[in-house]
Amino acid sequence: MDHLETLFSTINKGSVITVDKGILTLAKLASVNKQFNERIFPFLLNHLETCRSKEIPQHSESTLLAVSNENKEDFMNVLKKREQYLTVSQLKRVEKIFKAL
């Protein structure tokens, strides 16, 4: 947890691959325990609110690893707000996430 701010900064400034792998790594870390989740999940949600539309399906699939009963509604609300910006195929991927929840 000591280097989370460094990870957050690197993801915000990094290349596409850095962002993709960083989001997946943070989601896996957030799934480890409640303390990590409480610290990391807000960053993941903020990322989903602001990332490019074409990144939403992949990054929401990664973030799904960190979704818990406590934050499921917030996660779904962010995705619902972004639905209007998705293509048909992107929307299908997001709808699969809704079904998984």
> Residue 6: helix, strand or coil by DSSP?
helix
The rounded distance, in Å, linking the Cα atoms of 9 and 96 is 30
Residue-level pLDDT at 74: 97
* Per-residue DSSP letter, 14: S
- Give the chain's domain count: 1
Give 31-71 pLDDT, tens digit per residue: 999 999 999 999 999 999 999 999 999 999 999 999 999 99
| Residue 90: domain span | 3-100
Q: Is the dihedral of CA 74, 99, 88, 11 positive or negative?
A: positive
**Would you place residue 2 in the very low, low, confident or very high pLDDT band (cuts 50, 70, 90)?**
confident
Listing DSSP states for 36-95 in one string gives: HHHHHHHHHHHHHHHS-GGGHHHHHHHHGGG--TTTHHHHHHHHHHHGGG--HHHHHHHH
Give the model confidence (pLDDT) of 63-90 as tens digits.
999 999 999 999 999 999 999 999 999 9
- What's the CA gap between 72 and 49, in Å, rounded? 15
Other CB atoms within 10 A of residue 32 CB: 11
- Residue type at position 1: M
